[in-house]
Amino acid sequence: MDALLLSRIQFAANISFHILFPTITIALGWLLLWFRLRFNRTGDQAYMDAYFFWVKVFALSFAMGVVSGITMSFQFGTNWPGFMERVGNIAGPLLAYEVLTAFFLEAVFLGIMLFGSRRVSARVHTLATFLVAFGTTMSAFWILVLNSWMHTPQGFEMRDGVAHATDWFAIVFNPSMPYRLVHVLLASGLTVAFLVAGLSALRWLAGDRAKGTFLALRTGLTMGAVLIPLQILAGDLHGLNTLEHQPQKVAAMEGNWETGPRVPLLLFAIPDEEARENRFELGIPGGASLILKHDIDGVVPGLNDFVAEDGTVLHPPVKPLFFAFRIMVGVGFAMLFISWIGAWMIWRRGDINRPMAYVLVPMALSGWVATLAGWYTTEIGRQPWLVDGVLKTSDAVAALPATSVGITLVAYLLVYAGLITAYLSVIIALALKAAKTPHEAPPGINTAGINPDPAMVLGLEGNGRG
Amino acid sequence: MAEFQWSEWLPYIFAALMGIAILVYVILDGFDLGIGILSPLADDTQKDRMVSAIGPFWDANETWLVLAVGLLLVAFPVAHGVILTTLYFPVAVLLIGLILRGVAFEFRAKVSLDAKPSWNRMFFIGSLMSALAQGYMLGLYVLGLDTSWPAVGFAALVAVCLAAAYAAIGAAWLIHKTEGTLQVRAVKWLRASLGLVALGMAAISLATPLASTRIWDRWLGFPESLILAPLPILTVALFVWLWRLSGRMPLEGDRLNLAPFAALAGIFALGFAGLAWSFYPYVVPGQITIAEAASATESLAIILVGTLFVLPVITGYSIWAYRIFGGKAVDLRYD
């Protein structure tokens, strides 16, 4: 394998590992703020039980995200120097603003959020929780601005092969940014919803009927049930936006070779890029036209439009997009059914049943699967471009010996595999341990600034302890 | 008088900002890494206490590295590419070290008791790897990114000395944050590592002028040598003072418990100022100057505006966080 391919695999491995953790911390930060605010309001210790359990998962996920994020920032230089040399004038300020407005905020207030509950007032601790959640979201904002700009670049001009910014407003609010940002933030919400529901279901199966566990379970399922329809809508709008700006990506996602009307929605097929056709097609006639153009006679672009006169293929590889997209959508529909049935159970009967718990446990990681599948769809879908129409991936890569890239790739993969295993086993162990530990009020938590309604506290006392 | 040109000044402002970020990183994450390096020397209870002395801070400390690399990336993209591709392997070692160190904090606090020793080991290995990699890169950098065998040998020496310098400042932080037997041990660790710190600084001070006639002239010409004399004199004075003070520590009533840390921070800053003087105006020694490597003026300007607003805020809330967790370290707990 050559250095380009190895560098791409290495970057894909790093970003795939990295993205798993911000996907959790962005929404989990807000969920922690919610638990904290509910406690401030009601004085119900069950909310703090939920807070203190999930803050541990947050801390672990945050550390994993931070350390793998640092790897990303160095990799621009070690493996892709052409990226910053060519579009650094635009990517640079966006990354700098991420560090300045997000990284420090998260990192400094994380310490107070994790370890400060007995050192600062409830108000300051709540503020710290808010600032951490806000920081993670700001971080996502800047990164998605840059990523979206790489998909739909505008607001710049090329001078001597180097991009120069001409309109920062156009760069930040580039055409795909709002769609991508919403899609990713909802993905984070769904990932956390199912993680929380899944781990709570695990505790439920281990016999944990504490109120804090129930609150987390109910919150997770409700979050999932509310967010998934929004995500399906946002995904559809994002798809239409992609169709407008990167039709070749949509053509590959649909596995559609010829431009025309009444294009079927393929449920299954195996795209064959050599023969430029699909095998084993199974589809709904006119379905793709209906979804993409909202008209069965709508003309949908095909992959054959993206082959140059000399035969150079200008569209992304078809197979990975075709399958990754279907995995994402499939997981999305599973999320829809499971969260609706689960939420219905919990609001109707006040509890889940064993089959539901057994379904929820593996669904804890469904958000990760969908996020990765979605990420591959959009990122591989930009190939062969690094910045759409501006910079080819092959022109940005460092002139490194393939063996150098290969050695570091193997080292990173070993570290990542070890860490993922450790992470999963630790959060499962944390959940099981929490399920077996009798709840007791943590001593000395600073409640200055909290004025809970006494009647409410009294009313909840007694049934608050599991 | 020549007109003040932003396009000319911006690159130097950014070089200065980057220098400050690196120095702050070296002092702050230096003590985190140092405590990691010293951790195998402590017993289990002491290990927990050492980690709680850095637990609330390490993440924010590490962020200064992200800022420094970020500024290199955004302000001097060409230099960023040249430096990081040349230092490809040490960067990978640094990153893997930082990964292991960073996650070890969280894991060691959450795993079962029998798994804790392996995460303690990861904490040590990660810290040591990061420190050695940074020292090695510093060694190669001061010789102008030369990768011949003598340069590699010199870089290996700097690597060991920088790890020792981090251990020293880590020990100094522990003198400030702990009491009792751990504090007494920290004093011993500090004294044991100071010799290597001095050796490292001497080695760099001798090697840089010998490796480059330009640097030789900058330091040993007249009147430069006279103007610059305070740098080495102050450094030596601080070393002597620190050696004598630490010989009597811990003092009655825990007096001056922050003094060793302040002295070492001063020594780091003086050493850094010396390096900055040696290399100015180059960003890649002897190859690319600050002006040549800089990004477009309009991009730098837009970052500078944000930086001038945000950096004081960051400094403010960082100091506040240090004050919240001020005093002697106590056991860390989430609830």
Q: What is the pLDDT of residues B250-290, one digit of tens each?
A: 878 878 888 889 999 999 899 888 888 888 888 888 788 88
A399 contacts in chain B (CB < 8 Å)? 85
The verdict on whether omega for the bond into residue A81 sits within 30 degrees of 0, i.e. cis, is no
Q: Average pLDDT for residues B84-98, to the nearest whole number?
A: 88
Domain annotation covers residue B121: yes
Residue B87: φ, ψ to 5°: -95, 35
Per-residue pLDDT, B306: 84
CB contact under 8 A, B299 and A92: yes
- How far apart are alpha carbons A339 and A343 in whole angstroms? 6
By C-alpha distance, which of B37, B90, B105 is closest to A107?
A: B105
* Three-state DSSP class for residue A294: coil
Higher pLDDT, B40 or A84: B40
Q: Rounded CA gap, B14 and A92, in Å?
A: 13
The pLDDT, as a whole number, for residue B329 is 78
What is the residue type of A154? Q
Rounded average pLDDT over A3-29: 91
Alpha-carbon span B167 to B30, nearest angstrom:
8
Task: Report d(CA B251, CA B234) in Å as an integer.
Answer: 24
For A393-426, what is each residue's pLDDT tens digit? 888 888 788 888 888 889 999 999 999 999 999 9
Residues of chain B positioned with their CB less than 8 A from the CB of A430: 110
Residue B114 contacts A, CB cutoff 8 Å? no
Residue pair A220/A190 in contact (Cβ under 8 Å)? The answer is: no
Q: Hey, what's the torsion of the CAs at A363, A364, A370, A371, to 10 degrees? A: 180
- Distance, in Å, from the CA atom of B31 to the CA atom of A102, rounded to the nearest integer, reads 24
Nearest Cα residue in chain A from B111: A426
Residue A361: inside a domain: no
**Is B246 a member of any domain?**
yes
> Residue A272: beta bridge partners?
A277
Write phi, then psi, for A391 (nearest 5 degrees): -140, 125
A17, A54, A70, best to mutate vs chain B, most B CBs in 10 Å: A70
Task: With beta carbons under 8 A apart, name residues in chain A contacting B56.
Answer: 111-112, 114-116
Q: What are the contacts of A282-287 at 24+ separation with CB within 8 A?
A: A286/A262, A287/A263
Let me know if residue B328 belongs to a domain: no
**A330-363 pLDDT, tens digit each:** 999 999 999 999 999 988 888 888 898 899 999 9
Cβ atoms of residues A427 and A57 within 8 Å = yes
Average pLDDT score over residue span A350-377: 91
**Whole-number Å distance between alpha carbons of B287 and A400:** 20
* Interchain CB contact of A415 with B (< 8 Å): yes
Task: Indicate whether B176 belongs to any domain.
Answer: yes
Q: Taking residues A14-37, report their average pLDDT.
A: 93
Residue ranges of alpha helices (H) inside B143-258 are 149-177, 180-211, 213-220, 224-228, 230-248
Identity of the residue numbered A210: A
Domains identified in chain B, total number: 1
Least confident of A244-253, A435-444, B112-121, B311-320: A435-444
Mean pLDDT for all residues in chain B: 85
For A103, the closest of B66, B88, B335 (CB atoms) is: B66
Q: Cα(B201)–Cα(B232) distance, rounded to whole angstroms?
A: 10
Within the 150-169 window of chain A, which residues sit less than 8 Å (CB to CB) from chain B?
162, 164-165, 168
Cα three-residue angle B206-B211-B212, rounded to 5 degrees: 110
The highest-confidence range among A15-19, A448-452, B85-89, B327-331, by mean pLDDT, is: A15-19
Query: Poorest-confidence range of A101-115, B15-29, B128-142, B216-230?
Result: B216-230
Does residue B308 sit at the A interface (CB-CB below 8 Å)?
no
In a domain, residue A269? The reply is: no
CB contact under 8 A, A88 and B84: no
What distance in Å separates the CA atoms of residue B117 and residue B154, rounded to the nearest whole number?
34
Q: What ipTM does the predicted assembly reach?
A: 0.83
- Tens digit of each residue's pLDDT (9 = 90 or more) over A247-302: 888 888 888 888 888 888 888 888 887 777 878 878 888 788 888 888 888 888 88
**Average pLDDT for residues B145-151, to the nearest whole number?**
82
A368 belongs to a structural domain: no
Tokens 């781990």: give the residue: A199
With beta carbons under 8 A apart, name residues in chain B contacting A115: 55-56, 325, 332-334
Q: Mutate which of B49, B62, B110 to disrupt the A interface (most A C-beta within 10 Å)?
A: B110
Determine, yes or no, domain membership for A327. no
Angle in degrees, CA B10, B62, A9, rounded to 5: 90
Q: How confident is the model at residue B183 (pLDDT cuts 50, 70, 90)?
A: confident
Distance CA A22, CA A64 (A): 9
Distance between CA A317 and CA A381 in Å, rounded? 8
B259 contacts chain A (CB < 8 A): no
Instruction: Determine whether the interchain pair A108/B60 forms a contact, defined as Cβ–Cβ distance below 8 Å.
Output: yes
Interface contact flag, B298 A90, Cβ < 8 Å: no
pLDDT on residue B127: 94
What length does chain A have? 466
CA distance A172 to B255: 53
Q: Does B322 contact A at CB distance below 8 Å?
A: no
d(CA B82, CA A433): 50
Q: Please state the separation of Cα B65 from the chain's center in Å.
A: 9
Nearest to A35 by CA among A66, A58, A12: A58
Residue A430 contacts B, CB cutoff 8 Å: yes
Give whole-number Cα distances, B74 to A14, B213, B309, in Å.
Answer: 21, 31, 18
Residue B145 touches chain A, beta carbons under 8 Å: no
Each residue of B54-83: pLDDT tens digit? Answer: 888 888 888 888 888 888 888 888 888 788
pLDDT for residue B151: 83
Q: Quick check: A107 and B324 CB within 8 A?
A: no
Residue B333 has pLDDT above 80, yes or no: no
What is the phi/psi pair of residue A175, to 5°? Answer: -55, -35
Query: A455 pLDDT exceeds 50?
Result: no
In sequence order, the 6+-apart residues with CB closer than 8 A to the CB of A166 are: A155, A156, A157
Residue-level pLDDT at A461: 33
DSSP letters for A310-370: TS-B-S--HHHHHHHHHHHHHHHHHHHHHHHHHHHHHHHHSS--HHHHHHHHHHTTHHHHH
φ/ψ of residue A386, rounded to 5: -90, -45
With CB atoms and an 8 Å threshold, state whether B65 touches A70: yes
Residue B20 belongs to domain spanning: 13-291
> How far is the C-alpha of A263 from the C-alpha of A258, rounded, in Å?
9
The residue written with tokens 């970003």 in the block is A15
pLDDT band, very low/low/confident/very high, at A450 (cuts 50, 70, 90)? low
Residue A453 lies in a domain: no
**Nearest-angstrom CA–CA distance, A197 and A186:** 16
Contacts of A108 in chain B (CB under 8 A): 60, 314, 317-318, 321
B230 CA: distance to closest CA in chain A (Å) = 35
* A77 with B332: Cβ contact below 8 A: no
On whether residue A33 sits in a domain, the answer given is yes
C-alpha separations of A107 from A26, A100, A117, A419, B325 in Å: 14, 11, 16, 21, 14
CB distance A92–B303 less than 8 Å?
yes
Q: For residue A294, which phi and psi values (nearest 5 degrees)?
A: 55, 35
Q: What percent of chain B has pLDDT over 90?
A: 19
Q: B314 in a domain, yes or no? A: no
How many domains, chain A?
A: 1
Q: Is residue B22 part of a domain?
A: yes
Q: What percent of chain A has pLDDT over 70?
A: 94
* Residues B296, A68: C-beta atoms closer than 8 Å: no
pLDDT of residue A454: 42
Residue A451 belongs to a domain: no
The kind and range of the H/E element at B255 are: none
Residue A188 is assigned to a structural domain of this protein = yes
B125: helix, strand or coil: helix
pLDDT above 60: residue A443: no
Q: By residue range, what is the domain housing residue A204?
A: 3-241+393-446
Question: Residue A224: which of A103, A333, A355, A382 has the closest Cα?
Answer: A333
What pLDDT is stored for residue B248 in this prediction?
85
Residue A313's pLDDT is what?
A: 81
pLDDT of residue A446: 53
Touching B: A residues 200-219, CB under 8 Å: none
Residue B192 lies in a domain: yes
CA contacts within 13 A on the Cβ side of A275 = 6
The torsion angles phi and psi of B80, rounded to 5 degrees, stand at -55, -50
d(CA A440, CA B116) in angstroms, rounded, equals 25
Site of tokens 């992304």: A316
**Contact status of B122 with chain A (Cβ, < 8 Å):** no
Could you report how far apart the first and last alpha carbons of chain A are, in Å? 58
Helix (H, G, I), strand (E, B) or coil at A159: strand
Q: What is the residue-averaged pLDDT of chain A? A: 85
B17 and B290 Cβ atoms separated by less than 8 Å: no
